Structure formats: C-alpha cells, structure tokens
Amino acid sequence: MRSGSVGVGRSLAALAGMVLLGGILSVAARADDTVRIGAPLELSGRFVTYGAQTKRGIEMAVDTFGGSVNGKKIEVLFRDVQSNNQDAVTAFIDLASQQKIDFMIGPVASGIVAATVPAWRQSKPLWIVPGSSSTQLEDGMKGENLFFHTYPWAYNYHDGTAEALAQVVGAGKKVAIIYSDGGYGREQLPWAKEFYTKAGFNIVATELVREGAADLNPVLQRLRQLKPDVLVGIVQTIDGIQLAKQVQVAKLNIPFLVGTAYPQLAEWSGALGPEAADGWIGATTYLPGMDRPADPTHPKLFPAMHDWEAAFRARYNRDPEFLDVTSYTSTMLLLLAIDEAASTDKEKVAAKLASLDVKTMLGSSKFAPTPGGAMHQAFGQMVVFQRQGNKFVIAFPADAADGKLIPRK
Amino acid sequence: MIASRGLVLTLYVLAAVIAVALPFGVGPLGVNLMLRAGSIVLLGISWNLAANAGLISLGHSTFWGLGSYAALLMADRLGWSFAASIVPAAALGAAVAVALAVITGRLRGIYFAIATLALSEGLRAMAVMLPDVTGGGAGIFISQELRPDARTVAIVTGLGAVGACVIAHLLSRTPFHYACRAMRNNEHSAQMLGINPLRIRVTVLALSGAIASFAGAVNIWYGGFLDPDIGFDLHITILAQIGPILGGINTLAGPIIGGLATLAISELSRSWLGAQGYSLLVYGAILIVAILYMPDGIAGALRRLRPAPPARSIGS
Amino acid sequence: MSLILQCLLDSVLLGGLYSLMAVGLSLGFGITRIINFAYGEFIMLGAYGAFFCSTLMGIDPLLSLPLVAAGVALIAAIIFQLCLGRALRAAPINQILLLFGVGLVLQNVAAILWTGDARSVTTSYSLSGEQVGDITISDGRVVAFLLAVLLIAILLMWLHRTELGRATRAVAQNRQAAVLMGINVTFIYLLSFALNAALGAATGAISSFLLTITPFMGFHMLVKSFAIVVLGGLGSIAGTLAGAFVLAFAETVVAYYVPEGIGWAEGVAFVVLLLVLIVRPQGILGQSEGVA
C-alpha cells in the first residue's frame, strides 16, 4: 500500500471536494416570485414506467392551469431517484429540507415511498403521494395532517370485488388466492381473506409465488385439484402477465379470474393477447373511456373524461394510463388549493386542499380519514370491472354498473 | 515519500475533527451527503481489505444487510438505542464473515467470489420468506422515539470512516500486509513462507465484515426504514467495488478517492441530467470509460504523474 | 400422486431452457476466461429483437431467431472491439466491472428507447397446451425445449467438426499452445464473445413468448446462468448441461412439494451452489483447470 500520509492527504483533499460538491448542489435558485413544487420520481430504473406517467400528469396539469398561480410562476423541480432508496432519500432531503420546498409530489413506488417517509419527517412539507398502496405507509402516517394520499390502499381492491362476485357466484363457493412474496402480495393477503370470507366464500388455498418467477405451473397444478370457482391473483403486473398466460395454458377452467390493478393495463393485455386476457376481473378508479363529466365550477381544470383523454393523446401521442390521470388530478387539486387559499403557506393550503369538493375524473375529490388512521384519503372508491371481449364492463357498484360479471367460457 | 509519524497522526486527528464538526456547518443535504460519503468509504475500505488478500467479494451486500437487519431487529424487538446496537451489529458481521472464511476453506479467486454472491442472494431470499422475523417484503420502520438526530448519525459515520482508514493504515505497516500480498499472489507459495492462510483469511474477512456491517447498521438508523431490497441491495455490492477500483485497488487512498468520486459522479449526473432519466446511463458510461482508460484507478493515474520515487519504495 | 409426472415433465422442460441459457455463458467463460456480466443484457436484446420482429413485421420468433441472434452477435462484436480488446489483459475484477458498465448502459438505453413497459409475444403455440390424462403439456415449453436441444446440438457439432470450432477448443485448452499453432487467438476471443451473445440472444428470443420482457430482465437470468455454470463445472459444456438439469429438478421439486416452495426455490439454487462449492468446487463435471 502507498505510504500513509500521502494517502491521508489525498483523502482530505477528496473530502474537501465533497464539501464543495455539497455546496454546489445546495445552491438553489431561490426566487421569491415562483411557487416551487418538488417531484422526486422514478425516472429511471425498474419503476421508470410509474415515474414517467406521474411526470406527464404533473406537467400537463401545470400547463393546463396556465403555468402560474397567485401571480407567481409555477416551478416543478423534478429529481430522478433512479428507483433506488438512497437516491430517493437524498433527493427528498435536498428538495424538502435543504431547498425548503413546501409542496412535494411523489415518489410513487411502494418501497421507495416507504424509504422517504423518515426523510419527510425532517421538514414535513405538504406531501401528495399519488401511489403506493402499502398499508405500512398508512400506518406510518397516522394522524399526519400534511399527508395526502390519492391512490387506493391495499384493502380497497378487495372489498368491492368480493361483494360483486358474491352477488353473481352465490354463497359457499370456493376461492383460491395466489399472492406474491413481496410487500404487495403479503400486505393484501389478510385483507383479501377477510373480505372474501365476509362475502360468504370458502377460501380453499392461499399460495405464495415469487416475484419474477419464471414458472407458476407448480402452484397452478396444485390448485387444479381443488377446483376453485374463483381465482384471485394478488401480484404485480409482470407476474400478472405470467399468471394469466400460464392459467390459459394449463386449461384450469376456473370460471372467475380476479386480478388487482393489472387487468386494466394496456401493458398487461397487450402482452397476453385477447384470448388470455378475456374475462379477467379487476378493480380501479379509472378506466379508459369512462363517462365522467366535467366539474361544473372548473371545467377547464377538471374536464370531462373524453375531452381530457383527447387532449392527452394530442399532447403525448399515447393513450393515458392510470397514473397519468391520478397525478394530473392530484397536481390540479394542489394548484387549485394554492389558488383558492391565496397563499403558499403549507398549513393554509393543506386546510384548503382537505376541504375541496370537486368532481374529478377519478370521482369526488373530498378527502376523508381512513380506518387505518391516514387523515386525507381521496379516490379510494373503486369500481369492479371485467374484460368482456374488447370492452371493459363495469359490474359494481350498482349505480356505476353497465353490465354483469359473466363466467369464462 | 515517507512522512513522519507526527504528520500522519495530525492528519488523522484533523480528519476526525472535521467529521465531528462538519454536520453542524452544512445543511440537511450536506449531512445526507456526508453520510453517504462515509458509507461508501467504509464499504470501499472493507472490500479492499478482503481484495488485498486475494479474496474478491461479489456479495458484499451480505454484511451490509446483516448489519442493517441486526440493528433494525434490536431496535424494533428489543427497543435498543442507536449506541447500543452498533457494536453487536458489527460483531454479527464479523461472525458471519468468520463462518464464511472457515466454510469456504481453500476456495480461491472466482470460486470464492461466487460463494459470496450465493450467500447474499440466499440471505435476501430468507429475508423475504421469513416475514415474522424480518418484516418480509413489506419492511419495518424504526419507531420515531428511538431515532437519533441525523447529525449524530453522520458524525458516527464520519468517525467510523476515519477509524476504518486508521485500521487499514495500521495493517499496512505490519507484516500482516506482506502476508496478505503474498496470499493475493499465490496462496500455495505463501504457505511455504510460513504464512497460515486460514488465519489470514479469517482475520481479513472478520474485519471486512465488521466494517461493512457497521456501515449497514448506521445507515439504517439514518434511513429509518428497511426491507430486503434495501438491505441486500445489489447496488451496495457494486458500490463497494467501484470505489476501490476507480480509486486504485490495493492502495490506501484508493477506496477513499474512488468512493468519493463515485458519489460525486452519481450526484452530479443526477442533478444535471436527472430529469431526463439519463443519469443511470451516464453513470454506466463513465464507469466504462474510467475502467478502460484508468486501469490502475485514479491513484494509479496520479502516481504516473509524479516524478519517479527514489529506489526504495513501499508502494505496491 | 399424479403430480409427480407433472413435476417430472416440468423439470425436464425447464432444464432444456436453462441449458440453453447457461451454455452461452459457459462457452464464453471457458474460452476467454472472462465472465460476461453483460450476458443478461444480450438475452434482453434478443427478446426485444424477437418482439419487434413479431409486432412490426409479423414474423414468428422461431423464424426471426437466426436473424436476431446474428444481430446481437454483431453488436457484441462491436462492443468487444471498442472496449474489451484493451481489457483482455486487465485484472479480472476490472473486466467484470467493465462488462457490468456495458450491461448498465444497455439496460438504460433499452429503457429509454422502449420504455419500461412489460411485453410479451403471443404466438399460436405460446398459449396452448395439451391435456394428456392428468398432465398438462405446455406447447410453448415443448417448442422451447426442442429448439434448445437443436441449438445445443448445432453448437456441439460446430465445436467438434469444424476447423474454427476446433481452434476455439484449442484456445480453451491451452492458450499458449494455440498461439504456437498459428491460431489467431484474439480473433477466437472475439468470435467466442459474439457466440456467447448469439446464444444469449437465442435464449432471449425463446423467452419472448415464454416469459415477460422488460429492460431489466437480464440480471436475474445472468445470476442463474452463473449458478448453473459453476454447478456444472466452469469450462465444461457437458457439465453445464448437467448443472442445468440438476438445478431445474431441484427448483421444480421444491416448488411442487415444499409449502411456499416457489418462494424458496430461488434460495435453493444458491444453497445447492454453496454446497457444491464446498464439497466439490470444480463442479459436477469440471476439472481443476477448467478444460472444455
């Protein structure tokens, strides 16, 4: 090894460089005539799909709002967290604690959001999370007044679906549940069991599968012997593709196949083709082509679904997806709250945001506390839908339904 | 250049003082960066120690994860504080490292490396599959009451990094250093010189594991949240190696310079290009270029710039 | 219990797929002694290649496979010329990180160009299965198995029957002697690297209709191939094949018969690997110096 003092000397020089770097990074354009929103998002790495959608929604909302609020220009500071926890924490601290930004949107992936919660506590900005269904998060944010969640929680997926199925299938029928070994699957499992049992079903199996597993056949063959009436697959999208594919190949002939969010995704159905995707049931707050009207007071900010979708397509040359809609709506609500509060004080804006009652594309924007303790939850009301042929048919709740659930061939 | 003991001592004391004082002079971002810098230096020194003895580890996240989970579980299940949990976490890392050294016996080079990879992937699978023990995929938050001030953690990390440098430095002054070098070159021949390879392996790996576990434990106290993806992150394994390689493997300053350079590149590329999502791409490209054009690392490149030292040289 | 037959069938079919996946890595390592940490990304490129041939031009992956493999091999050759030539004499750890950097770049270029959305190819056989008594036979997996067998057979024939193939084996056995015999070793290295990529791409093309395609699919497959190669013995193709089937059987049996087995199956792979390394580090069929 090299002689010690040279090494130490170089190291101190490097350390000085780091301090300088920290200084460079901390210098922020601190203009008082802008309203700054921090957006640490997954713009690369494995959650890039979610981050990219969220970014689109935010940008479109800012532009539609007019680019400025209360006479000040809106500046959104995007930071790529690279789908990595350490970077997410650094980015959040940079934006919220160092640059003292009071309004934060994102991240959206469950694991990443969880990692940034402790960082949020350092300065507690007004935080909108249009993602993460993890009840771990709900628990960690109990009683927090500045936390706004605009995405379903894990349990929201299953209460409606179980009830909808009970009406069609009848009592005492058999349900088999497949769940993934990550946080996603394990968190939802107890809720699924609770709701399906409450709806009168008999849960005959709960099978674990590995996230990213290449072959789900062993589980499926075991299930075949049990002849369930309903199969519930609590997995992420990629595993959902593998599951649907192998269910098709294995010819399990289960009349009702239930997913969580993935059956609505173009990504999922595109990878499967029409035959394997047909008949799958899911729950969501947004379906493409839904007929939601504009808000009467703010039609330009919260347009009718069809109009918004057309504008989105014109702007981005692609069909909108769930997170595009969610982040657009969340951002727009924030901007409206800042406008109506006529202030950038986070407490005042939070109070205004919590009291807004706007008809958005995802439903009513009224925030309400959840049984789990989170103070501000919106858009948890889900509709249950089924893919029938080329269409989505909404089967539940009754006031939104335009069809019924039917068994697969 | 062989400097006097006094000078070296002064420099280390100075470094320690900076480690204690710095968090009070910089904002929250600075504290965060200091913590990350300290972590990457600790990982680099830890990895380098093993690499010096010819033990290339491709699974360094093993020790980081063990330290993280040990600290987390002590906090969550036993209610222990930051101060109380650090030493046991490091000890666990050392113990597993010793077990690894003994079990892998005479495995060398690529085989040892693969064994470390297998261990880290296996531990991650276990962390996911045993949610009652580890909190599973959903993860666990450290309760707010137990969490220390961010600056305290940063100071401990900084002092830890300085301490690791001191350890590495001291080792480089002892016959131990030559024993490691001999083992790196040819383990069989080393045995003929009277070196006991197993004893060296155990010592080296125990130190390496302890330092990496310490880093993981401290990091989790700062971060406040742990799940298997954070604990046994492949990213950590990569981070542990990039520093020493960029900076110059088998040198004292290499892991430090390389580690800090890596962090700097990562942060700068993220803040300049971040919004576009190109940052990981640039990071990879820089990695390629650096390895291609600086095969001996930054330290090696710097060495070539200095005038040739006098005939007697200690450096490798 | 009728599950036994199903379990056996699944193991064999999986073993075929694993064989093809690992053989590429094994070949590359056996000859160049470089572990290609970008191998997973070559698989990924092959998968995307087959996907785009299928969606843009309607060509079935089985037909586009040769084209895709050749394309990826070309990319690999270019990478070799640009980067690896210099690194051939560098320390192994430098090579590993270099190729890892290449893999990182490829992954992120793919994510930027093609987004992170999951894709898959749907063919007539990918979703159909045959029911024979209590056993379900997946057509897609049978096709994959047959293709894997065919490709490996072609590879072995090439290695043993052609001039170039023999030269390659010579380099693997004894580099100095090969040089003395007038073999252009650097060219052989280039060829092996390209071949390694081509086999990976072939695996990718097959995966395109069996599995889900994402830019990040490669690393997981790299790690598994790695485990198989070491299990079977570094540098021995026969060993790699044996290792592939051993691992496939172990994983499938655990998945069928152990509660929560699929979750543990991945861990099993590494436990087996550790055991092999401790008991017999050269693997099932390897020799201490790793002769092809």
Q: Is the CB of residue B125 less than 8 Å away from at least one CB of chain C?
A: yes
For residue range A372-393, list pLDDT tens digits in order: 888 999 887 888 999 998 888 9
Higher-confidence position of A346 and C34:
A346
Alpha-carbon gap: C201 to the closest alpha carbon of chain A (Å) = 18
Return the C-alpha torsion angle B219, B224, B225, B228, nearest 10. Answer: 20
Rounded distance between C-alpha atoms, residue A205 and residue A177, angstroms: 6
Say yes or no for a CB contact (<8 Å) between C270 and B281: no
Position A120 scores a pLDDT of 92
| Cβ atoms of residues C240 and C22 within 8 Å | yes
All residues at 6 or more sequence positions from B131 whose CB lies less than 8 Å from its CB, including other chains:
A186, B137, B138
Ordered strands of the A174-180 beta sheet = A202-209, A174-180, A230-234, A256-258, A280-284, A383-388, A391-396
* Pick from A56, B280, B287: nearest CA to C37: B287
Does the pLDDT at position A175 exceed 90? yes
Q: Which CATH architecture has domain A156-284+382-396?
A: 3-Layer(aba) Sandwich (3.40)
Q: Measure Cα distances from C10 to A33, B306, C6, C141 in Å.
A: 65, 63, 6, 9
Rounded distance between C-alpha atoms, residue A334 and residue A126, angstroms: 10
Q: Is the CB of residue C105 less than 8 Å away from at least one CB of chain A?
A: no
Domain A30-152+290-378 has CATH 3.40.50.2300: yes
Chains adjacent to C (≥3 CB pairs closer than 8 angstroms): A, B
Higher-confidence position of A182 and A94:
A94
Q: Which two tokens stand for residue B212?
A: 């990496």
Size of interface A-C (CB pairs under 8 A): 102
Partner-chain residue, chosen from B26, B177, B277, that has the shortest CB–CB distance to A48: B277
Residues in chain A whose Cβ is within 8 Å of chain C? 44-49, 52, 181, 208-210, 212-219, 221-222, 237-238, 241-242, 245-246, 248-251, 267-268, 270-273, 275-276
Q: Is the CB of residue C216 less than 8 Å away from at least one CB of chain B?
A: no
Q: Measure Cα distances from B34 to B158, B243, C50, C76 in Å.
A: 7, 16, 46, 40
Q: What is the mean pLDDT of residues A284-302?
A: 86
Task: Give the residue from chain A lying closest to C128, CA to CA.
Answer: A249
Q: Which two tokens stand for residue A93?
A: 């601290």
- pTM value is 0.84
A363 DSSP assignment: E
Say yes or no for a CB contact (<8 Å) between A3 and B173: no
Rounded distance between C-alpha atoms, residue C120 and residue A370, angstroms: 38
What is the CA angle B127-B132-B138, rounded to 5? 60
How is chain B split into domains, by residue range? 12-234
Position B267 scores a pLDDT of 79
Q: Is the CB of residue C38 less than 8 Å away from at least one CB of chain B?
A: no
Residues on chain C touching B297 (C-beta within 8 angstroms): none
**Count of H-run helices and E-run strands, chain A:** 14, 16
For residue range A302-339, list pLDDT tens digits in order: 999 999 999 999 999 988 988 999 999 999 999 999 99
| Cβ atoms of residues C256 and C7 within 8 Å | yes
* Amino acid making up residue B76: D
Position A28 scores a pLDDT of 47
Rounded distance between C-alpha atoms, residue A288 and residue A266, angstroms: 10
Position B307 scores a pLDDT of 62
Residues on chain B touching A184 (C-beta within 8 angstroms): 137
Does the pLDDT at position A396 exceed 90? no
All residues at 6 or more sequence positions from A372 whose CB lies less than 8 Å from its CB, including other chains:
A135, A138, A139, A142, A153
Q: Is the CB of residue C260 less than 8 Å away from at least one CB of chain A?
A: yes
Topology alike, domains A30-152+290-378 and A156-284+382-396: yes
Task: Give the residue from chain C lying closest to B284, CA to CA.
Answer: C101
Interface test with A, best of B9, B22, B33, B52 (most A CBs within 10 A): B33
Interface test with A, best of B26, B82, B225, B256 (most A CBs within 10 A): B225
Interface test with A, best of B17, B221, B270 (most A CBs within 10 A): B270
Q: Which two tokens stand for residue B23?
A: 């968090």
Task: Give the residue from chain C lying closest to A247, CA to CA.
Answer: C127
* Number of C-beta neighbours around residue C279 at 10 A: 7
* Burial class, A141, CB count within 10 angstroms (exposed 0-12 / middle 13-18 / buried 19+): buried
Alpha-carbon gap: A123 to the closest alpha carbon of chain B (Å) = 10
* Amino acid making up residue C176: Q
Position A251 scores a pLDDT of 85
Per-residue pLDDT 10s for chain B (316 aa) are: 455 777 778 888 888 888 888 888 888 888 888 899 999 999 999 999 988 887 888 889 999 999 999 998 888 888 888 888 889 999 999 999 999 888 877 776 777 887 888 888 888 888 888 888 888 777 888 887 788 888 888 889 999 999 999 888 888 888 887 778 777 777 667 777 777 778 888 999 999 999 999 999 999 888 888 888 888 887 788 788 888 878 887 788 888 888 888 888 877 777 776 555 676 777 778 778 877 887 777 777 777 776 655 555 555 4
* Pick from A192, A350, A334: nearest CA to A259: A192
B99, β-bridge pairs:
none
Q: Is the CB of residue C212 less than 8 Å away from at least one CB of chain B?
A: no
All residues at 6 or more sequence positions from C160 whose CB lies less than 8 Å from its CB, including other chains:
C166, C169
Say yes or no for a CB contact (<8 Å) between C116 and A47: yes
Rounded distance between C-alpha atoms, residue C113 and residue C44, angstroms: 13
Residues on chain C touching B278 (C-beta within 8 angstroms): 108, 112
Q: Is the CB of residue C273 less than 8 Å away from at least one CB of chain B?
A: yes
Task: Give the residue from chain A lying closest to C253, CA to CA.
Answer: A218
ipTM of this complex prediction, to 2 decimal places: 0.83
Q: Is the CB of residue A53 less than 8 Å away from at least one CB of chain B?
A: no
Q: Which two tokens stand for residue C37?
A: 């940490």
How is chain A split into domains, by residue range? 30-152+290-378, 156-284+382-396
| Overall residue count recorded for chain C in this entry | 292
A372 DSSP assignment: T
Residues on chain B touching A206 (C-beta within 8 angstroms): none
Task: Give the residue from chain B lying closest to C101, CA to CA.
Answer: B284
Does the pLDDT at position A5 exceed 50? no
Residue segments in chain C with a per-residue pLDDT below the cut of 70: 1-2, 287-292
Partner-chain residue, chosen from A11, A44, A181, that has the shortest CB–CB distance to B256: A11
Pairing of strands C129-132, C135-138: antiparallel
Residues on chain C touching A178 (C-beta within 8 angstroms): none
Q: SS3 of C235, please?
A: coil
Residues on chain C touching B292 (C-beta within 8 angstroms): 83, 86-87, 98
* Pick from C71, C80, C73, C81: nearest CA to C99: C80
Q: Is the CB of residue C105 less than 8 Å away from at least one CB of chain B?
A: yes
Position B246 scores a pLDDT of 80
Q: Is the CB of residue C127 less than 8 Å away from at least one CB of chain A?
A: yes
Q: Measure Cα distances from C102 to B292, C17, C99, C281, C290 in Å.
A: 12, 25, 5, 29, 26
Partner-chain residue, chosen from C87, C107, C278, that has the shortest CB–CB distance to B292: C87
DSSP string, B106-170: T--HHHHHHHHHHHHHHHHHHHHH-HHHH-TBT-EEPPGGGPPPHHHHHHHHHHHHHHHHHHHHH
A360 DSSP assignment: E
Interface test with C, best of A238, A243, A321 (most C CBs within 10 A): A238
Interface test with B, best of A1, A59, A117, A209 (most B CBs within 10 A): A1
Task: Give the residue from chain B lying closest to C278, CA to CA.
Answer: B104
Alpha-carbon gap: B129 to the closest alpha carbon of chain C (Å) = 7
Position B6 scores a pLDDT of 79
* Burial class, C160, CB count within 10 angstroms (exposed 0-12 / middle 13-18 / buried 19+): exposed
Q: Is the CB of residue C279 less than 8 Å away from at least one CB of chain B?
A: no
Say yes or no for a CB contact (<8 Å) between A238 and C252: no
Partner-chain residue, chosen from B105, B281, B287, that has the shortest CB–CB distance to C112: B281
Rounded distance between C-alpha atoms, residue A313 and residue A282, angstroms: 25
Pick left, alpha or beta for residue A384 (phi over 0 → left; psi -120 to 50 → alpha; otherwise beta).
beta
Does the pLDDT at position A4 exceed 50? no
What's the per-residue H, E or C state across A185-227?
Answer: HHHHHHHHHHHHHHCCCEEEEEEEECCCCCCCHHHHHHHHCCC
Q: Read off φ and ψ for residue A209, nearest 5 degrees.
A: -130, 150
DSSP string, C110-130: HHHHH-S--B----TTTT-EE
Say yes or no for a CB contact (<8 Å) between C101 and B284: yes
* Pick from A245, A252, B104: nearest CA to A262: A245
